[in-house]
Structure 1
Amino acid sequence: MTSGEAKGGDVFAGTLAELTWYEVDHAARSGAVLLWAFGVIEQHGPHLPTGTDVYVPSARLRAVQALLAERGVQALIMPPYYWGVNVVSGSFPASYSVRPELMREVMVDLLAGMARDGFRHVFCFSGHGDALHNRTIHDGVRAARDRTPADTSFVTEPALARRIGLDLDDPSLTLYGPDEPPPPGPADVHAGRWETSLMMHSHPELVREEVRARLEPSGLGASDLAIWRQGFDAARRVTPDGYFGDPAAAGAGEGHRLHALAAEQAADAIALRLRRPPRLRPPAQTAHPSRTEE
C-alpha cells in the first residue's frame, strides 16, 4: 500500500489500521517492514496542538514509506503510539505520561504480536525529545530484540542518541543524519521555529496562526536549557508559556525542507540496514514473549 497525505488530523490515515487482516498478512508474507512512531500528548505552547509530537512523526513516516517504495522496499505504518513518558512538560495541563516500565512492556507485547504476524523488521521513531521517553523506547526495542526474532531498531539521530547516553555502535539503533553539535545562539528545542515550521508544513490547519505570529522569541540559552530539562515545575518556570525558541520565525517552506531532508536520511538508513545479513533467531525459550520472565 502506498499512502498519501493524512486528511486533517487523522493519525490513522495511511496506516495499518485501514487495512484488512488479509492485506496485513499478505504484506508480512511479502517481506514488508513496519514503521512505528512514538509520541506523547503534551503542551506545545499557545499556538500548536497537544498532539504535535504525534502529527510530526506520522507525517514523516508517510514520506519515509514513499521513499522506501522508490527503493523497492514495501513498508506499512503502524498507528502511532501516543501515551509516552513526559517529564519536561509534566507540570502543564494536557501533558500526560505513563510509567516507563509500563510503556516498555506494552511495546514488547505489541512488537511480539508483529513478529508473530511474520514481520521481520520494525523501525521505531520518536516524535518527542524528552530524554526518559527516548531511553524508554530504546529499552523497549532492546527487550523486544531479546524476546522475539524480529530485527527491531530505534531510528534516531546521533545527537539524540548521545544526549541520552547511548552507544552509537548499539545494534538496536538505526542512525540517520549527520553527527553535528547544535548551532550556536539561542536554543530552539520545543514548539519553536523548527517544530512550528514542521507543523505549518504538514498540518497548517492545526496551527493557531494569529497567536503564533505575535509570539516573542524565548531568547534562552544552554544554561536555561539545562534547567528546563529537569522538567516539571523547573521547566514551567523557564518557559511559562510552554515554548522554547522562536515560533514567529517559522515558515511552511522551512518545514517542507526539514521534513523532506529527515525523511530522505531515514529512508537511506533503513535501506542500508536491510542490506545487512539477517540476525539469528533467539533461543526457543524466548519464542513466547507474552509470558512473564521468571
Structure 2
Amino acid sequence: MTAGEPDGTGVFVDTMAELTWYEVERAARDGAVLLWAFGVIEQHGPHLPTGTDVYLPSARLRAVRRLLAHRGIEALIVPPYYWGINVVSGSFPASYGIRPELMREVMADLLAGMARDGFRHVFCFSGHGDALHNRTLYEGVRVARERCGIDASFVLEPALVDRLGLDPGDRCLTVHGTDPADSEPVGGVEQPQYADVHAGRAETSVMTHLHPDLVREDVRAGLVATDLGPAELAVWRRGFDDARRTTPLGYCGDPAAADPDEGRRAHAASAELAADAIRTRLGLGRNAAGTGSASD
C-alpha cells in the first residue's frame, strides 16, 4: 500500500471475505455490527474509473470501521455490492444496471443470512447518487427488516432523505449530520453555483486523495466545467439519452478544480459523521472517550 493509496484497491481488502468462518461466527457472537457499501459499475467521465462508486464507499467504510474501533465498537465490512441501478448513466457504455425488484430481493436474502449468523445490526451505505438506486436500497432494507427482524438501516445525509421523499424518523434510516464545511467556501474561495454532482470537483477530489493512480490526470486537468443550472440538471436526472445529450462527456461539475486535500477533508468528515450516527443508533451517544482518525 503506497502513501497515495491509504485504502488499497482490492474489493475484499479489510472485509469479512478475508476472515475464516470461525472468526465471523465469533464476531457475531461478540456483538459486532456489519457495514455494507452499495455502489454500481458506471461511467465517470473520461478521467475516473467505472468503479468509482465502489471505491469511494468502500474506503469510507474502512475509515468508519477504524473510528468505531476507537470508540469500542467492533465492526466487520461486508464485501461491496456493485450491481445496482443506473438511470442517469444508462445510455453510456460500462454503466450496468439490474431490475430494482431483483436488487431488493438479493439484498433481503443476504440480510436474512446475516441475521441467521447472529448479526443484529447492519449499516448500509450508498456510493451512488441515482435516485432509483437509493430508493431500491431503502426497499431492500425495509423488506429485510420485515422478513427477518434484523436491525438493518440505510445510512445517509439529510439532503438525500429529502430528495428521496423519506421520513427522517423512519427506523429503516440512520440519518447523520451535515459537515459544517459543506456550507462554507473551500479555502476561502466562493463556490460556483453550477451543479457538481457526478465525476466533478467533489468526487474527483476524493478519488485524487484515495486513488490518484486511477485518475487520468492528463485528461482531468483539461476538462471544462459543465455549468448546469437547475433546469438542465432536471433534464439530466431524467437519465439515459437525456443525460447523455446534456453531459456528452459523462461528468457534471468541474473536475479540473479537484484538490486532493479537499478530498482528504471530505473523506474524513464523512466517516466521522457516519461513525457518530452509528454510535447514536446503538444507544451509545456520540463521541466516546477514545478518539481516532479517519485518515491513515
TM-score, with structure 2 as normaliser = 0.89
The residue number in structure 1 matching 2:231 is 223
The residue number in structure 2 matching 1:71 is 71
Matched, 1:241 2:252: no
48-57 or 168-177: bigger deviation: 168-177
Q: How far is 1:153 from its partner? A: 0.2
CA distance in 2, matches of 1:231, 1:219: 18
Alignment of 1:123-142 (within 5 A): 123-142=123-142
Alignment of 1:25-174 (within 5 A): 25-174=25-174
* Amino acid corresponding to residue 94 of structure 1 in structure 2: A
Does the CA contact (< 8 Å) of 2:37 and 2:126 recur in 1?
yes
Q: How far is 1:161 from its partner? A: 1.2
The residue number in structure 1 matching 2:7 is 6
* CA-to-aligned-CA distance 1:4-63 (integer Å, 9 cap, x gap): 9433x2111000110000000000000000000000000000000000000000000000
CA distance in 2, matches of 1:141, 1:76: 18
Q: How far is 1:178 from its partner? A: 2.6
Does the CA contact (< 8 Å) of 2:179 and 2:269 recur in 1?
no
Match of 1:258 among 262, 266, 281: 266
Q: How far is 1:179 from its partner? A: 9.2
* Amino acid corresponding to residue 16 of structure 2 in structure 1: L
CA distance in 1, matches of 2:178, 2:30: 32
3-state SS of the aligned residue for 1:152? strand
Q: How far is 1:261 from its partner? A: 0.3
* Amino acid corresponding to residue 43 of structure 1 in structure 2: Q
* CA-to-aligned-CA distance 1:124-145 (integer Å, 9 cap, x gap): 0000000000000000000011
CA distance in 1, matches of 2:98, 2:139: 15
* Amino acid corresponding to residue 195 of structure 1 in structure 2: E
The residue number in structure 1 matching 2:19 is 19
Structure 1 residue runs of 5 or longer lacking an equivalent are 277-294
Q: How far is 1:184 from its partner? A: 6.7
Does the CA contact (< 8 Å) of 1:11 and 1:79 recur in 2?
yes
Q: How far is 1:167 from its partner? A: 1.0
CA distance in 1, matches of 2:59, 2:178: 21
The residue number in structure 1 matching 2:280 is 272
3-state SS of the aligned residue for 1:10? coil
* CA-to-aligned-CA distance 1:65-86 (integer Å, 9 cap, x gap): 0000011000000000000000
* Amino acid corresponding to residue 63 of structure 1 in structure 2: A
CA distance in 2, matches of 1:34, 1:179: 24
CA distance in 2, matches of 1:85, 1:263: 24
CA distance in 2, matches of 1:5, 1:172: 31
CA distance in 2, matches of 1:124, 1:236: 29
* CA-to-aligned-CA distance 1:146-172 (integer Å, 9 cap, x gap): 011211000001101110111111111
TM-score, with structure 1 as normaliser = 0.90
Alpha carbons of structure 1 residues 114 and 5: separation in structure 2 relative to 1, 3 Å? farther
Q: How far is 1:89 from its partner? A: 0.2
Does the CA contact (< 8 Å) of 1:156 and 1:173 recur in 2?
yes
Structure 2 residue runs of 5 or longer lacking an equivalent are 184-190, 285-296
Does the CA contact (< 8 Å) of 1:38 and 1:54 recur in 2?
yes
RMSD: 1.6
Q: How far is 1:213 from its partner? A: 0.6
CA distance in 2, matches of 1:247, 1:202: 15
3-state SS of the aligned residue for 1:35? strand
Of all paired residues, the percent bearing the same amino acid is: 70
Alpha carbons of structure 1 residues 111 and 5: separation in structure 2 relative to 1, 3 Å? farther
The residue number in structure 2 matching 1:287 is none
Does the CA contact (< 8 Å) of 1:159 and 1:179 recur in 2?
no
Alignment of 1:169-188 (within 5 A): 169-178=169-178, 185-188=193-196
The residue number in structure 1 matching 2:289 is none
